[in-house]
Amino acid sequence: MIKDIPAPTLQRLPLYYRELRLASQNGTEFLSSQELGNRVGVPAVQVRKDLSNLAEQGRPGVGYHTTRLADYLERYLGLNRDKRAVLVGAGNLGRALALFPGFGNYGMQIVALFDKNPDVIGTQVGDLVVRSITELGNSVKCLNVPIGIITTPAEAAQTVAEAMIRCGIRAIWNFSPCKLEVEDGIFVRNEDLAAQLSVLSHHVQKMRLSEDENSR
Amino acid sequence: MIKDIPAPTLQRLPLYYRELRLASQNGTEFLSSQELGNRVGVPAVQVRKDLSNLAEQGRPGVGYHTTRLADYLERYLGLNRDKRAVLVGAGNLGRALALFPGFGNYGMQIVALFDKNPDVIGTQVGDLVVRSITELGNSVKCLNVPIGIITTPAEAAQTVAEAMIRCGIRAIWNFSPCKLEVEDGIFVRNEDLAAQLSVLSHHVQKMRLSEDENSR
DNA sequence: TAGATTGTTAATCGATTAACAATC
DNA sequence: TAGATTGTTAATCGATTAACAATC
């Protein structure tokens, strides 16, 4: 049985992983929860609590073995295994993600790009050629792709998601600004840049207002 | 005095805003918390609790006035006011964000791009020419820019953030995979795509493991 | 007035933090 | 052994959910 850990904890694990790997590469053998917490920006207790969910343990009086824990987290997060992904929506954002080399470090490889727009279909993006969305089914089924990335406008996203799921995709990274309705067992991660921008915008707004207040 | 609302609530406001604006444009005059909640994927009680933080009220028995509430949220989130931004790190992701038209709808305009790499400096990205990072100070100061976007590698991010803050930037959208150390009053929003990908990766991993288990 | 739906107070839930015994 | 640091139990905090009186 695989124990579920709380979502907030799960979100912090990649941060711990990154610092542990870095420390390991720099020749640091052990890191205390205090030190790791400093680097990630999380209290030491939180670090210990989070890591106590895992099978790999720390050593009292010494700390966590950087290499061992990094390796463990790598496996736990599945970063060591290759994961194919397809991307639908080859606009600016889609093309950028397809070209982003950083994802390779996390075991993800974008193997196909799709779009609806005839002007975009057939164009080259890095090593890939944008294909027609109508070909999605065939490609995904025979390539055994677990991940779908959606970078279409909001109107198209639901339809695309359903098509992806029909082809066996089980995890969706949704960059389009809308809620996807999916059945249980399908994992959706929303990456709503406009919503994030709104939060940023609110803070700028708030600062402006308080400046106005102070200058009165 | 400007009342602070809880962070989770603040993050949901842009979602409400989007649906309210859409409904307003479609000619729907009122939306109940039930209906709005459905569209955003949040329980009706949560919607009411969230919106009760705002000055704009709903009408018992009727619901929320879509146009009025959308307008209110637009002002509250500062989406109606133009916000200039500079972007440092004109790699694939940086160029994509610079070209992304969607941000305009949220009042953000990227007014300058900077990079360290001489091969990139001077190249054209949309209407803008990538400038040398050494020019950051002059440009930002005379343009009154409140927002900085960081799309550099992790090693450079802290230095870039400090330079931004010295020039008067007060809100940073950090796409680089690292923690930024900044003084109080500077708002930082991390958009760590690799960390998000790790969460996605974990779920794929988990599904694989449970499939293995079932097939035993 | 009856029905619908809000805003708010109180109850629940879950995550973070504090305290501390266990262990290297 | 003394000092450092873990893992865990209990206390706190804050957000979500439930219940319901107020109001259109």
Element counts in chain A: helices (H) and strands (E)? 8, 10
- CA–CA distance, B18 with A193 (Å, rounded to integer): 13
Pairing outcome for strands B124-125 and B128-129: antiparallel
Is A208 close to B10, i.e. CB distance below 8 A?
A: no
pLDDT for res A214 = 73
> Which residue type is seen at B194?
A
Residue A151 contacts residue B93 (beta carbons within 8 Å): no
**Residue B16: phi, psi to the nearest 5?**
-60, -45
State the SS3 of B146-195: CEEEECCCHHHHHHHHHHHHHCCCCEEEECCCCCCCCCCCCEEEECCHHH
Within 8 A of B100 by CB-CB distance, chain A residues are 92-93, 193
The closest CB to that of A179, out of B41, B192, B196, belongs to B41
**Contact positions of strand D to protein Cβ (< 7 A):** 3-9, 14-19, 22-24
- CA–CA distance, A170 with A187 (Å, rounded to integer): 6
Is A195 close to B11, i.e. CB distance below 8 A?
A: yes
Residue A84 contacts residue A146 (beta carbons within 8 Å): yes
- Which residues are CB-contacts of A89 (< 8 A; sequence separation ≥ 6)? A114, A115, A150, A151, A152, A153, A156, A160, A175, A176
> Which residue type is seen at B185?
G
pLDDT for res A210 = 79
Residue B202 contacts residue A10 (beta carbons within 8 Å): yes
- Which residues are CB-contacts of A43 (< 8 A; sequence separation ≥ 6)? A37
pLDDT for res B2 = 46
pLDDT for res A216 = 58
pLDDT for res B179 = 95
pLDDT for res B216 = 58
pLDDT for res B139 = 85
- CA–CA distance, B16 with B19 (Å, rounded to integer): 5
- CA–CA distance, A78 with A49 (Å, rounded to integer): 21
Within 8 A of B203 by CB-CB distance, chain A residues are 170-171, 187
The protein residues having a beta carbon less than 7 Å from any atom of strand C are A 6-9, 43, 45-46, 49, 59-62; B 32-34, 44-45, 48-49, 51-52, 57-64
Query: Tens-of-pLDDT digits for all 216 residues of chain A?
Result: 446 899 999 999 999 999 999 999 999 999 999 999 999 999 999 999 999 999 999 999 999 999 999 999 999 999 999 999 999 999 999 999 999 888 998 999 999 999 999 999 999 999 999 999 999 998 888 788 999 999 999 999 999 999 999 999 999 999 999 999 999 999 999 999 999 999 999 999 998 887 777 775
Residue A200 touches partner B, C-beta closer than 8 Å: yes
Helix axes B33-40, B44-51, angle to 10 degrees: 110
Structure tokens at B87: 């972007």
The C-alpha angle B199, A102, B116, rounded to 5 degrees, equals 135
B208 CB-contact burial (10 Å; exposed 0-12 / middle 13-18 / buried 19+) = middle
Is B106 close to A79, i.e. CB distance below 8 A?
A: no
**Which pTM value belongs to this model?**
0.94
Q: What is the DSSP letter of B83?
A: E
Listed residue (A188, A4, A190) closest to B206, CA to CA: A4
In B49-88, the residues whose Cβ lies within 8 Å of chain A are 76-79, 81, 83
pLDDT for res B3 = 61
- CA–CA distance, A130 with A24 (Å, rounded to integer): 40
DSSP per-residue codes, A154-211? HHHHHHHHHHHHHTT--EEEE-SSS-----TT-EEEE--HHHHHHHHHHHHHHHHHHH
The closest CB to that of A106, out of B17, B18, B201, belongs to B201
> Which residues in chain B show pLDDT less than 50?
1-2
Listed residue (A178, A203, A208) closest to A190, CA to CA: A178
Nearest residue, CA→C1' of C23: A60
